[in-house]
Chains A and B, each alone.
Chain A
Amino acid sequence: MNIPNDLKYTESHEWLRIEGDTGTMGITDFAQGELGDIVFVELPQVGAKVEKGKPLGTVEAVKAVSDLIAPVTGEVVEVNAALEKTPDLVNKDCYGQGWMVKIKLSHPDQVSSLMDAAAYQAMEKHGH
């Protein structure tokens, strides 16, 4: 299971990469593997306000749809438009080209409540 060390993680299997006051989010290798072939990703509009713990979009696989949960509160500044035509980027490269949303953090202190790679890995081991 690929769990990069430089990212933060949620219990609902999103990852967040912090660069300045902006966080880039996607879903983890574990999540994409569990969902299987991803056929559609529904993302919020740029400018939308998102709230930590609330759904901001959905990921649709052949037999399941899963909510994307905002890891932090803030404003959407960019979404990965490539996923509209090629949602399978999430399966192929979930931490790179399969990124989903960039959020400008309004409460940067929330980041400390997220898990680091070691904690996420431990959660994985003990059954999600």
Chain B
Amino acid sequence: MPYLPNTEADVEAMLRKIGVKSFEELVADIPPEIRASAAIELPGALSEMEVAEAVTRLSQTNRPASDLISFLGGGVYDHYIPAAVDHILLRSEFYTAYTPYQAEVSQGTLQVIYEFQSLIAALTGLDVANASMYDGATALTEAGLLASSHTRRKRILVSSLVNPQYRQVLKTYAVGLGIEVVEIGRSQGQSDLDDLKSKIDGNTAALLVQHPNFLGCLEPVEEMAGLAHGAGALLVVSVDPISLALLRAPGDYGADIATGEGQPLGMPPSCGGPYLGLFAAKQQFLRSMPGRIVGLTNDVQGREGLVLTMQAREQHIRREKATSNICSNEALCALAATVYLSLLGRSGLKKVAELCLQKAHYLADKVGTAFPAPFFREFAVRVRERPEAMLSRMRQAGILGGIPLGKYYPELDDCLLVAVTEKRTREHLDRLAEFLI
């Protein structure tokens, strides 16, 4: 593919047009410490065949997670994906379909989204779910923004045991909106309720927690719901959808909004996604929910039909006054989740969750856990040597042994976060245990 750089005359004409004397003046605001000090050294041009060979050689140095025994988690999990999921995803009617604004030619896409919404509402025990968000981080953040505009308060409390990346996204959004984000401390692998009590007040819009939390531990969510509601704040819970086959639904313990990462529902772990944001809420928040919603209605002849609804508050209509900054959804990922959940059904999903729970606890019984709190399929374990050194030896044995926690929680720099899915066999678990004991 040819690359056509601007000629010097082009550059000069553009600079003149915007009233800047030189390229240097144009980029003067970029701090010198992040600018390259010398020209970037690139090798000479290659032919297509040479590039193909070089890239193939490079890709062969990768070790795909599918060839390894993975205990990685931290928000993304290595669950089995039934073959039918990919088969249906690869139907061109689905993967080439454009956004379903034109309902009369989009009934198939709209039906998938409608069923997805119904499944997520059932799973979370809440009244209404949207067509999906970008990922778990943006879903949680948008829930915080909804709470802020609903309560007209500018302070959000977030547990320090919410996924660190989600907290970063929340803080990034909050800056521009003048929302103050306050973190709640932790104690023994759970959010510190005393710290929560001292920080929650009449200016708090929402309490954001993750359940199970980033360390895998369950949180005292019922008590948290009481504390949030007592202060007139909303409770937002970021959930793991697989865990909901065993744990109480957020709607049952008083969550106003449940969000989550939908990746475990039929999407492979992959660097950078695409992932799937889940968002469900009580009926009263229907009109302040971000994103799109598909509704079931009747046409003029009384026939059932599906349409995008509640659109009037979104960006293509309301521009800068829109409810949120998402006016699309992750339709193909939502399709994967819909097919996955439909194939497994209620009992199949429960079976997956039980296998995760039992296998994780089999491993924990052997290697111990860093915290006494109950957990689902993921837990922190203390190790006797530098976690990075241990992980490197595990990798040589074909095992991805977990996530070192020191980067996120300095006091846990001797801990690994280990996730166990239904794909791990007893032999896998015993092999990992040998390293850890």
Which residue numbers of A lie inside 8 Å of B, CB to CB? 40, 42, 45, 60-65, 67
Contacting residues of chain B (215-256) with chain A, CB-CB under 8 angstroms:
none
- Contacts of B152 on A, CB cut-off 8 Å? 45
Which residue numbers of B lie inside 8 Å of A, CB to CB? 152, 287, 311-313, 317-318, 321
Closest A residue to B288 by CB, please name it.
A42
Give 8 A-B pairs besides A63-B312, A65-B312, A65-B313 with Cβ atoms closer than 8 angstroms: A40-B287, A42-B287, A60-B312, A60-B313, A61-B312, A63-B317, A64-B317, A65-B321
- Contacts of B317 on A, CB cut-off 8 Å? 63-65
Q: Which of B312, B317, B318, B321 has the most CB of A within 10 A?
A: B312
B307 CB → nearest A CB, Å: 11
Query: By the criterion CB–CB under 8 Å, are B287 and A60 in contact?
Result: yes
Closest B residue to A44 by CB, please name it.
B152
Closest A residue to B311 by CB, please name it.
A63
Query: By the criterion CB–CB under 8 Å, are A64 and B312 in contact?
Result: yes
B322 CB → nearest A CB, Å: 9
A70 CB → nearest B CB, Å: 16
Would you give 11 A-B contacts (Cβ < 8 Å), ordered by A? A42-B287, A45-B152, A60-B287, A60-B312, A60-B313, A62-B312, A65-B312, A65-B313, A65-B317, A65-B318, A67-B321
- Contacts of A40 on B, CB cut-off 8 Å? 287
Q: How far is the CA of A60 from the CA of B287 in the complex (A)?
A: 10
Q: Which of B152, B287, B317 has the most CB of A within 10 A?
A: B287
Q: How far is the CA of A65 from the CA of B213 in the complex (A)?
A: 38
Q: How far is the CA of A45 from the CA of B312 in the complex (A)?
A: 22
Q: How far is the CA of A30 from the CA of B32 in the complex (A)?
A: 58
Q: How far is the CA of A45 from the CA of B149 in the complex (A)?
A: 13
Q: How far is the CA of A42 from the CA of B318 in the complex (A)?
A: 15
Q: How far is the CA of A62 from the CA of B311 in the complex (A)?
A: 8
Q: How far is the CA of A97 from the CA of B317 in the complex (A)?
A: 29
Closest 9 CB pairs of A and B: A65-B312, A60-B312, A65-B318, A65-B313, A40-B287, A64-B312, A63-B312, A64-B317, A61-B312
B283 CB → nearest A CB, Å: 13
Closest B residue to A62 by CB, please name it.
B312
A46 CB → nearest B CB, Å: 13
Q: How far is the CA of A65 from the CA of B317 in the complex (A)?
A: 8
Q: How far is the CA of A67 from the CA of B312 in the complex (A)?
A: 12
- Contacts of A45 on B, CB cut-off 8 Å? 152
Q: How far is the CA of A86 from the CA of B312 in the complex (A)?
A: 18
- Contacts of B312 on A, CB cut-off 8 Å? 60-65
A58 CB → nearest B CB, Å: 8
Q: How far is the CA of A47 from the CA of B245 in the complex (A)?
A: 44
Q: How far is the CA of A43 from the CA of B267 in the complex (A)?
A: 42
Closest A residue to B152 by CB, please name it.
A45
Q: How far is the CA of A45 from the CA of B153 in the complex (A)?
A: 13
Q: How far is the CA of A64 from the CA of B312 in the complex (A)?
A: 5
Closest B residue to A60 by CB, please name it.
B312
A7 CB → nearest B CB, Å: 27
Q: How far is the CA of A60 from the CA of B286 in the complex (A)?
A: 13
Q: How far is the CA of A64 from the CA of B287 in the complex (A)?
A: 13
A56 CB → nearest B CB, Å: 12
Q: How far is the CA of A61 from the CA of B312 in the complex (A)?
A: 7
Closest A residue to B313 by CB, please name it.
A65
- Contacts of A67 on B, CB cut-off 8 Å? 321
- Contacts of A65 on B, CB cut-off 8 Å? 312-313, 317-318, 321
Closest B residue to A48 by CB, please name it.
B152
Closest A residue to B287 by CB, please name it.
A40
Closest B residue to A63 by CB, please name it.
B312
Closest A residue to B318 by CB, please name it.
A65
Closest B residue to A40 by CB, please name it.
B287
A89 CB → nearest B CB, Å: 18
- Contacts of B311 on A, CB cut-off 8 Å? 63
Q: How far is the CA of A64 from the CA of B321 in the complex (A)?
A: 12
- Contacts of A62 on B, CB cut-off 8 Å? 312
A100 CB → nearest B CB, Å: 17
Closest A residue to B314 by CB, please name it.
A65
- Contacts of A61 on B, CB cut-off 8 Å? 312
- Contacts of A42 on B, CB cut-off 8 Å? 287
Q: How far is the CA of A42 from the CA of B312 in the complex (A)?
A: 13
Q: How far is the CA of A42 from the CA of B152 in the complex (A)?
A: 13
